[in-house]
């Protein structure tokens, strides 16, 4: 791991934003991936091609995991690994929304050490490094201090409120909000704009990796839906849901949820 890794990710994010913004979302060529894996556009592929070339040339000893690249077990042998989502919120991008993001992270031995979430059309650059704090456009971030999850503002998909997910067999009373990009949801919790985020379905590592560090470096807690610490660069590339919040709300959410595996 190199001290300049965060600068490398920031510079790559800025260039990725320039590439993506050359495309007009609704008119960009779009395909559906096999097996219901979601859409991909020519902008996703253009950004990924740049990143795969630029980042791997800059750090040839690092492994590579990207949503838009063929996977290789070779990354599992690497001490450090890039975990990349070229465009998080592709559906949002294709619809012409401004809430999509670039989400880039570096994991060392399964733990995220450097992270960038960049929303070029909203001019928001979220950055974090292990032990160095979490920032947005240079302003240091801190998670919300709100401590009552029942009245909290929480980013969550609507199906997460279904009674079967909760010990009470009733839908929770918190105020639900939504953003299409998981990386942006995590960054919004790190900034204190929302009190927590949750997703109960299996989640890809590239959607979560950068936001995980943003929240933790802003004083918050992250875990899977059962409270287990998140670990990255795994063979199946998936996490068992994600919870992110301050310590009090995180614990309350975890205790209120049914302990099930997805």
Tell which residue, 211, 190, 188, 20, has the closest CA to residue 105: 211
Is 106:206 a contact under the CB 8 Å cutoff?
A: no
pLDDT at 148 over 50: yes
Is 125:118 a contact under the CB 8 Å cutoff?
A: yes
Residues 6+ apart with CB under 8 A from 234: 110, 205
Is 112:118 a contact under the CB 8 Å cutoff?
A: no
Q: What are the CA-CA distances from residue 136 to residues 140, 222, 242 (Å)?
A: 7, 19, 22
pLDDT single digits (tens) 24-76: 777 778 777 666 567 789 999 999 999 999 999 999 999 999 999 999 999 99
Tell which residue, 172, 169, 165, has the closest CA to residue 258: 165
pLDDT value of position 30:
75
pLDDT value of position 39:
78
SS3 of residue 89 by DSSP: coil
DSSP per position, 150-173: GG-EEE--GGGGSGGGBTTSS---
- The torsion angles phi and psi of 18, rounded to 5 degrees, stand at -60, -40
Cβ atoms within 10 A of the Cβ of 2, count?
Answer: 14
- The torsion angles phi and psi of 188, rounded to 5 degrees, stand at -70, -30
Determine whether 50 is exposed, middle or buried from the number of CB atoms within 10 Å of its CB (0-12, 13-18, 19+). middle
pLDDT value of position 262:
43
pLDDT single digits (tens) 5-30: 999 999 999 999 999 999 977 777 87
| Average pLDDT score over the chain | 94
Work out the average pLDDT over 72-82: 97
Alpha helices in 23-106 (DSSP H): 42-58, 90-94
| Separation CA 244–CA 259 (nearest Å) | 17
pLDDT single digits (tens) 122-145: 999 999 999 999 999 999 999 999
pLDDT at 191 over 70: yes
pLDDT value of position 155:
98
pLDDT category, 244, cuts 50, 70, 90?
very high
């Amino acid at each position: 791991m190199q001290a300049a890794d965060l600068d490398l990710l920031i510079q790559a994010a800025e260039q990725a934003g320039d590439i993506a913004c050359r495309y007009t979302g609704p008119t960009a060529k779009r395909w559906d991936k096999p097996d219901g894996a979601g859409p991909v556009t020519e902008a996703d592929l253009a950004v990924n091609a740049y990143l795969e070339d630029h980042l791997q040339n800059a750090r040839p000893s690092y492994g590579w995991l990207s949503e838009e690249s063929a996977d290789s077990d070779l990354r599992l042998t690497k001490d450090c690994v890039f975990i990349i989502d070229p465009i998080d919120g592709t559906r949002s991008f294709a619809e012409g929304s401004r809430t999509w993001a670039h989400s880039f992270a570096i994991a060392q031995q399964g733990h995220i050490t450097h992270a960038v979430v960049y929303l070029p059309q909203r001019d928001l650059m979220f950055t974090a490094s292990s032990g160095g704090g979490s920032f947005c456009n240079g302003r240091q971030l801190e998670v919300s201090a709100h401590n009552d999850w029942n009245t909290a503002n929480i980013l969550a998909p609507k199906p997460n409120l279904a009674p079967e997910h909760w010990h009470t067999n009733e839908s929770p009373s918190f105020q639900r909000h939504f953003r299409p990009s998981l990386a942006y949801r995590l960054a919004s919790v790190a900034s204190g704009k929302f009190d927590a985020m949750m997703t109960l379905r299996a989640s890809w590592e590239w959607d979560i990796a950068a936001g995980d560090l943003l929240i933790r470096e802003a004083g918050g807690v992250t875990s899977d839906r059962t409270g287990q610490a998140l670990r990255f660069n795994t063979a199946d590339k998936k996490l068992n849901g994600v919870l992110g919040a301050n310590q009090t709300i995180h614990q309350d959410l975890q205790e209120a949820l049914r302990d099930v595996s997805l």
